[in-house]
Structure 1
């Protein structure tokens, strides 16, 4: 039988190589130094069905043009900066990675850094080892037992940190607006609704979120001021989540007792300002550097590549192959709509719902699974800490225990084709519906029974208020005070003077202080900030 030809251009752990060698349907070429000779790779890539790399091999459009047989690229690790994902997608080539291989390594590094910061271990080591001083009184630490640990981001790593922290007799609280309370309760962790509550209550705070627009500079001077005096801060996740200048000042002032940092906004970080700060433990982004994690990564990526070649389910696809078919072109605007509805719903009310209903009205085809997948792609972007696409979205939803119920109905009175999302949460039922205008333009046309004509893009505020004069003026004054430009406003209501829904389109993120002021307007019942881009 014909064998799958796999080329490995960089070093990966023996466990992954041995797994590939043991497959009867695989012919393996393992040349771990080949990445240094890109021209040679270009000259032979046409022979291979799969390519496995780390970060050193440039997987460019030129490479894809020559790779006539290539079906999958495997990145032995998390980052895919060296791979042209658009070029891969256009050619229907899967790109897979191994985001879970370093989970335990990062978890244990977090615990090690936490103890090192609390007990000043590196400073005591240097004092004795380098300065030859026996200064026991100088290095007075704090115990973890009895302290409150605040975990920002309760995904794969955050939840495992919680388990280990509880073994140290710590009280653990967590903030993650996209995690179900049941998960935290099973682990004996209190899930708080607001970040501010975690900041105020925690003795030690550790972040375990991806770096996104939402999490960049999540911890700045403003957030640090809300923390307890003498708090300990950790970042073993991604550089840029904690503002480095503000952390430096807090360490100098003593507001922050100690910090432990493994990741930096710009790496290598040999001249970073934090290297001059007192009471800080730093490591050069080694959270994933264990023999075991490298073995895990190698095995995961080998299995992912094999599954892709054999046409089996792939868990960690980074891109979605592009299929330029007539059916796909017709369905594409509705898939874009479904994705935006998912992104909207998860930010408003559905993030912890166990069951979500998708109602399809009109002729949207016999097979609506692409629409469900597109919805899940949007919905999951705010819940998981790995890239979501049309390939891995169903798998990730299953892993999260998210159930989607499909309902098909005839075309409606107002719109021939419509997608409606509904879910139940602690605050009751939430619905949102949309359609496509002129076969091209997705529109949100209904939110909780209130009618709108809303293009689902950009940033907006969703307001629930009592429909009385003066509310819009008060909102505009507050936003103007914080230099937030209003790009548009829509009001949905069922009856004058009763409850109404308002959507304010804004050009910029609305500061938390502005949101708090808006909440204090007597006529405002609820306000949510939503990003649809």
Structure 2
């Protein structure tokens, strides 16, 4: 029986994919096999030795201690694309809000309550204060062409915008989904200097923290509108405040407001609604659960952020999954030990990612004893061993 701990409220439609005869689910467990989390911070959390996997029901994983997980052989999954349509729609809404002054106009209209029959005339008099611009014909720069960025680029293009995309790591999968009418910029300066709107859609890492800063803002047009529905830390707040005050940036739309952002002029602060739709919460939960199950039951890894992708069909017999440091001679040591135990390898897959390697090994015969896991773990460099019946 696998024990799954939920650190946030997880959509029940997804949790139903855990068979009740194989899984126990609760918000508190002393020794869980898996954790499903949304936004709760885990950096100060003690990771139990029983923990095998963490599934983030969403794309961003900056709330999870990835290095600590990798060192302990814990696979971390995310759910890229599950909330992509929800975020795409909010980015388009953000462009419209920043162009048409919709939000302040609505607030002003509410001040007319009590004016009775005068309201229609007052509306006609006051609407001139809320004029804006159409997004049709304007240029949108999309930084990051992953699942969300591609959808934004395609949607904006269909609305009549000129769209420039920038992603030096564009995957073949996403390239095939990108409209051929979306132009790809070869460099960031070319991209930013032509944009009326800029949307950033990249992960937040130590390397990308403060990605939008005064140097990149200098490359942009005066009055540019910047949209951040990825992560708050991607924008340098001090540089943004200065650019808004001077008018270099005409409007900043953020789905991650904080105290500093809320004090800035010309900011549209949205309270982290990017994935807040019933559909995306369900999609994220279903994907997180399915990936967790496939790993716990079969050792397959799909959409991990710290381990290589590795999937292999079962041959009907027992399976070993082994994680080790990505150094020479590991595979030969593992296979030699298995041979010394009289175990025949029926099929094997070895994948690596950065400093970690992952092996899936199907063997002939009965399920090995727990002693085998201890012997494999004793090999220097092996960080995790599981025996799957």
Give the TM-score normalised by the residue count of structure 2. 0.71
Q: Does 1:147 align with 2:138?
A: yes
Q: 2:157 aligns with which of 166, 171, 177?
A: 166
Q: 2:214 and 2:43 mapped to 1: Cα distance?
A: 40
Helix, strand or coil: the match of 2:132?
Answer: coil
After superposition, the Cα gap between the structure-2 partners of 1:27 and 1:245, relative to the gap in structure 1 and judged at 3 Å, is closer
Q: 1:151 and 1:197 mapped to 2: Cα distance?
A: 12
Higher relative contact order (CA 8 A, sep 6+): 2
Q: 1:389 and 1:99 mapped to 2: Cα distance?
A: 22
TM-superposed CA distance for 1:79, in Å, is 4.9
Q: Residues 156-200 of structure 1: CA distance to partner in whole angstroms, max 9, x if unpaired?
A: 111100111012111111122222696487432111111111111
Q: 1:301 aligns with which of 288, 294, 319?
A: 288
Instruction: Tell me the matched-pair count.
Output: 320
CA contact (8 A) 1:263 1:284 kept: yes
Worse-superposed segment, 298-307 or 7-16: 7-16
Q: Does 1:280 align with 2:242?
A: no
Q: 1:391 and 1:138 mapped to 2: Cα distance?
A: 61
TM-superposed CA distance for 1:302, in Å, is 1.0
TM-superposed CA distance for 1:315, in Å, is 1.1
Q: 1:51 and 1:122 mapped to 2: Cα distance?
A: 39
TM-superposed CA distance for 1:277, in Å, is 3.0
After superposition, the Cα gap between the structure-2 partners of 1:155 and 1:50, relative to the gap in structure 1 and judged at 3 Å, is closer
CA contact (8 A) 1:317 1:391 kept: no
TM-superposed CA distance for 1:331, in Å, is 3.5
CA contact (8 A) 1:15 1:299 kept: yes
Aligned residue in 2 for 1:253: 246
Helix, strand or coil: the match of 2:130?
Answer: coil
TM-superposed CA distance for 1:130, in Å, is 4.1
Q: Does 1:209 align with 2:206?
A: no
Aligned residue in 1 for 2:215: 222
Q: Residues 321-356 of structure 1: CA distance to partner in whole angstroms, max 9, x if unpaired?
A: 99587x975447xxxxxxxxxxxxxxxxxxxxxxxx
Q: 2:326 and 2:210 mapped to 1: Cα distance?
A: 39
Q: 2:253 and 2:327 mapped to 1: Cα distance?
A: 50
Paired residues for 1:12-91 under 5 Å: 12-20=10-18, 23=19, 26-29=22-25, 31=26, 34-35=27-28, 41-42=29-30, 45=31, 49-56=33-40, 63-65=47-49, 67=50, 70-80=51-61, 85=66, 88-91=69-72
CA contact (8 A) 1:318 1:389 kept: no
Paired residues for 1:113-512 under 5 Å: 113-130=94-111, 134=123, 135-179=126-170, 183=176, 186-263=179-256, 269=258, 271-272=259-260, 274-320=261-307, 330-331=328-329, 370=350, 373-374=351-352, 377-378=353-354, 390=357
Aligned residue in 1 for 2:336: none
Q: Residues 423-443 of structure 1: CA distance to partner in whole angstroms, max 9, x if unpaired?
A: xxxxxxxxxxxxxxxxxxxxx
CA contact (8 A) 1:6 1:26 kept: no
TM-superposed CA distance for 1:205, in Å, is 1.2
Aligned residue in 2 for 1:429: none
CA contact (8 A) 2:323 2:358 kept: no
CA contact (8 A) 2:322 2:358 kept: no
TM-superposed CA distance for 1:239, in Å, is 1.7
After superposition, the Cα gap between the structure-2 partners of 1:76 and 1:131, relative to the gap in structure 1 and judged at 3 Å, is same
Structure 1: where are the runs of 5+ without partners? 36-40, 333-366, 379-387, 393-533
CA contact (8 A) 2:223 2:250 kept: yes
CA contact (8 A) 2:62 2:204 kept: no
CA contact (8 A) 2:80 2:147 kept: no
CA contact (8 A) 1:149 1:203 kept: yes
After superposition, the Cα gap between the structure-2 partners of 1:248 and 1:71, relative to the gap in structure 1 and judged at 3 Å, is closer
Q: 2:6 and 2:293 mapped to 1: Cα distance?
A: 13
CA contact (8 A) 2:73 2:323 kept: no
After superposition, the Cα gap between the structure-2 partners of 1:297 and 1:254, relative to the gap in structure 1 and judged at 3 Å, is same
Aligned residue in 1 for 2:313: none
TM-superposed CA distance for 1:248, in Å, is 2.0
